[in-house]
Structure 1
Amino acid sequence: MSASASTLPPIESLFDPNSKSYAENPAPQCLAIAARGPLVWYAPWQAWIMTQMPDIMDCWKREYLSSDFYDWEFAPPRPTEENWNKFEKALVGHSLLADPDHHRLVRRITSPAFSRNVVDNIQRQIEPHVTRLFDDIGTPESFDYITEVAQHIPFISITAMVGVPEKYWPEMKRVTQTFTETWNPTISEERRLRAQEDSNKAIDILQVVIAERRENPQEGDFLSALLKIEAANENFNEWDIITLILALIGAGADTTLIAQQWSVYALLKSPDQVPYALESADAFSNAFSEIMRWSGNSKMGFARYAPSDMQLLGQEVKKGQMVLMMPHLKDHDPAYFSNPEKLDVRRKFEPDVLFGYGPRFCIGAALAKRQLYLTMGEMFKRFPNISLAEEPERDLEDHNAVVFKRLLLNTNIK
């Protein structure tokens, strides 16, 4: 170690995403770890942190690191096929994460299921549920947006998209709340196993719903579109459909809950931006990228695992070690964004990497943005003078992002 490196303060003293100071203003800590180099060892997580955007985009594009949870050095033993439960059959046997070639195939052949027409149809199915949420709220002086609206949206979206009958809603609601815990490396194995059991129950439901839809396909329906694709492609089967739906739950559950509260908070902190953000669905798509950049709510990033001992960005990385790609470290860097502290929903993103990049761009991105646009539009239509009732307290317990304990809003109805 060089003399200059040995005099640097420990990185743990500069970067702690679970700290109150990070929750209140993550920018200094993000800039501090990015300044340490392109690949930084972070002992509390026993992981490397990839800090620079060109390297992150190259990793996304070339996929030279593994996305397979079981390649992590601290993962439980990979289950053998004869012992797979249903969740493991999806995660191991049909994983969109573990097999890059199959992932590309699934992305290519399922693109019609994410067409604008299908997304428009899903919006029409979601819209009455969003309207009902606000009908139930009524016209109070104030309400907590998280409990009254945000916590319901992931469940509404997935059940509307797949067409899950109401009798199955309790079990499906549980999996939308716990699915991202099924492979989270920072929580206990016991907690991961409980989340996996929730997923096993959800898979049982999905198999029933798929069987019903085979008998009665529907025009412009997401699941019916996937069944048509299955019939036309021998390398795409029912388990691929199940895995894709689980992936959408994983991508949309935590993310949607986080995005809902930060979208409200950001727009109410900068009310002059509301008309621009809600001008159209396309305008909100760009606005949402800016909201998430401005919020700085990410804690971890995208987990990858070294498939072998390797030299990476000047460091010796051992097989099985985690590498966390953290594109959000740049979000308040003036070298990337002018006036980064300002929310500007018309800011241009070239490229926009909020939902990933290249082969790993999230295929459900359009749906995620559309459900947010619907909800924001309904809220500001009902309560045009709505405002924050208080500065919300950050919740330091969330494993993945900076979130609020509550988001109390004043409706200001006269």
Structure 2
Amino acid sequence: MSVTRPSPELSEYDLSDVAFITDPEAGRRWLAGPRPICRGRSFDGSQAWIVTGYEDAKQVLTDPRFTSRPPGDSHARGLRARGMPEDLVSLFDSMLLSMDRADHDRVRPLVTLAFSARRVRTMRPFIESLVGELLDAMDPAAENDLVAALADPLPIRVVSELIGVDEVHREQWLRWAQTFNGPVPPPADQLAPALRGMVEVTRDLIAQRRRRPTDDLISELIRTRDEDGGRLTDDELAALAILVIQAGHDSVRQLIALTVLTLLDRPDQLALIRSGRTTWSVALAEVMRHAAPVKHAFRRFATEPVEVGGVTVAPGEGVLVVLAAANRDPAEFPDPLVLDVTRTPNPHLGFSRGPHFCPGSTLAMTEVEIAMRELFGRFPKLRLAVAGDEVAPRFLLGVQRLPVLLD
């Protein structure tokens, strides 16, 4: 079957352009834009195929002919180009997100251990207590920034509890996580110290758990590694811990902020939840689809010629799936621009799909559901303290602050 390739001219989707990343109008154009696969640029300025249609997105995310591992040593070169210190390149090159096939099959089950249903159930009382503590600390008589008061501290403390990060280092982890929030790499003088600090604390934590195991995830990973005769290298163990902490913070942080902002903007939808006509679980799935805290998946690379959406992706070419756009594809979702907290079924791609489906999705949704139920239950008069356009999320930077009044 013959296929035609679109013009090689670049589309407007340019992740290497800071103006595009921070421009909410650019994001809105792409979320409602054309669905065919087209050309664009990724963060490093390299050309990539951009996928915005739902079926094409599912194909790329699940087709084994696509890999997360870039050709040759281009991933390591990309890390260096973004300012990664040379002595840390090998460790961060071993991240699960850039693994596939044998390496991914070896490491992925260990990540699943971190977010098992049993572990999430075990953590639920801790999450409920923590949400109560954070809400208690808010001042009902004053303006409160929900990002600083709830969206930031909740996920970093939950994931620290999961991993086994002690209280002394939690504030450090939050500062490091904030350094990496958003797609724009921080300056080298901020990047290197943050990376070295993360690695140093993680390696110290691993050494402590070797000497004195507990029931946290690091101890469990060490036990699994030793019993399996080196299932993980030391670098992979450290990289896995860092990934769980980093990924477990930012996506939840954005989902909390976006859920509040979205529901305050649509009081009719919030009323459906409060009346019991829908559940928080169903409503949050719709917020994931509509507000999209995670806008795109990590790049995939074709390992052989693959036809996607009527074009042939050549071996080695990168493909960037825009999850936020696929989740608004009218071919899959009726009235996709409309927020409908009763929408079922809702096969959104907010947590990706296929072998790199987010293993922490259940824990993330548990955190946000508890936080939203308690927040809106305790403060029924919750409202924005500023005009909505002052806190509107930027396309890839999300919500940075959310001033609200409680009473």
For Structure 1 versus Structure 2, the TM-score category normalised by the shorter chain is 0.7 to 0.9
5 Å-filtered alignment, 1:230-309, equals 230-234=225-229, 235-274=231-270, 283-295=279-291, 299=295, 301-304=296-299, 306=301
Match of 1:229 in 2: 224
Distance 1:17 1:202, change over 3 A: closer
Distance 1:32 1:199, change over 3 A: same
Structure 1 SS opposite 2:331: coil
Matches of 1:73 and 1:106, distance apart in 2? 20
Distance 1:170 1:411, change over 3 A: closer
How many residue pairs end up in the alignment? 387
Q: TM-score, structure 1 length as denominator?
A: 0.78
Structure 2 SS opposite 1:47: strand
Match of 2:25 in 1: 21
| CA contact 1:110–1:229 (8 Å) conserved in 2 | no
Structure 1 SS opposite 2:298: strand
Match of 1:103 in 2: 104
Matches of 1:192 and 1:135, distance apart in 2? 38
Distance 1:396 1:133, change over 3 A: closer
| CA contact 2:38–2:49 (8 Å) conserved in 1 | yes
Match of 2:33 in 1: 32
Distance 1:93 1:142, change over 3 A: closer
Match of 1:177 in 2: 178
Matches of 2:245 and 2:75, distance apart in 1? 23
Structure 1 SS opposite 2:32: helix
Distance 1:355 1:203, change over 3 A: same
Distance 1:304 1:71, change over 3 A: farther
Matches of 1:208 and 1:73, distance apart in 2? 25
Match of 2:3 in 1: none
Match of 2:199 in 1: 203
* Matching residue's letter, 1:57: K
Matches of 1:228 and 1:76, distance apart in 2? 30
Structure 2 residue ranges without an equivalent (≥5):
1-5
* Matching residue's letter, 1:284: W
Distance 1:179 1:57, change over 3 A: same
Provide the identity percentage: 24
5 Å-filtered alignment, 1:45-64, equals 46-64=47-65
* Matching residue's letter, 1:139: P
Distance 1:274 1:196, change over 3 A: farther
Structure 1 SS opposite 2:232: coil
* Deviation at residue 362 of structure 1 after TM alignment: 0.8
Matches of 1:13 and 1:68, distance apart in 2? 22
C-alpha root-mean-square deviation of aligned residues, in Å? 3.8
For residues 62-99 of structure 1, give each alpha carbon's deviation from its aligned partner in whole angstroms, at most 9, with x where no partner exists.
Answer: 343342465369826699xxx952x4233224544234
Structure 2 SS opposite 1:54: helix
What is the aligned counterpart of 2:350 among 344, 350, 354? Answer: 354
Match of 2:402 in 1: 407
* Deviation at residue 399 of structure 1 after TM alignment: 7.3
| CA contact 1:393–1:404 (8 Å) conserved in 2 | no
Match of 1:154 in 2: 155
Matches of 1:194 and 1:99, distance apart in 2? 31
* Matching residue's letter, 2:78: A
| CA contact 1:390–1:408 (8 Å) conserved in 2 | yes
5 Å-filtered alignment, 1:335-374, equals 335-349=331-345, 351-374=347-370
* Matching residue's letter, 1:268: L
* Matching residue's letter, 1:195: L
* Matching residue's letter, 2:40: Y
5 Å-filtered alignment, 1:180-195, equals 187=184, 191=187, 194-195=190-191
Matches of 1:342 and 1:32, distance apart in 2? 15
Matches of 1:373 and 1:17, distance apart in 2? 29
* Deviation at residue 259 of structure 1 after TM alignment: 1.0
Matches of 1:357 and 1:90, distance apart in 2? 26
Q: TM-score, structure 2 length as denominator?
A: 0.79
* Deviation at residue 355 of structure 1 after TM alignment: 0.7
For residues 116-154 of structure 1, give each alpha carbon's deviation from its aligned partner in whole angstroms, at most 9, with x where no partner exists.
Answer: 221123333344433232222132243221222222233
Is 1:380 the equivalent of 2:383?
A: no
Structure 1 SS opposite 2:144: strand
Structure 2 SS opposite 1:336: coil
Matches of 2:135 and 2:202, distance apart in 1? 29
For residues 239-295 of structure 1, give each alpha carbon's deviation from its aligned partner in whole angstroms, at most 9, with x where no partner exists.
Answer: 433222222233233212211111111222334544765899x95343222112222
| CA contact 1:296–1:328 (8 Å) conserved in 2 | yes
Structure 1 SS opposite 2:152: helix
| CA contact 1:31–1:330 (8 Å) conserved in 2 | no
Structure 2 SS opposite 1:41: strand
Matches of 1:251 and 1:42, distance apart in 2? 25
Matches of 1:399 and 1:269, distance apart in 2? 18
* Matching residue's letter, 1:406: R
Matches of 1:259 and 1:316, distance apart in 2? 35
- More displaced, 150-159 or 319-328? 319-328
Distance 1:263 1:62, change over 3 A: same
* Matching residue's letter, 1:162: I
Matches of 1:58 and 1:395, distance apart in 2? 35
* Matching residue's letter, 1:331: N
Matches of 1:33 and 1:155, distance apart in 2? 37
Match of 1:116 in 2: 117
Structure 2 SS opposite 1:32: coil
Match of 1:41 in 2: 39
Structure 1 residue ranges without an equivalent (≥5):
none
Distance 1:164 1:14, change over 3 A: closer
* Matching residue's letter, 2:381: N
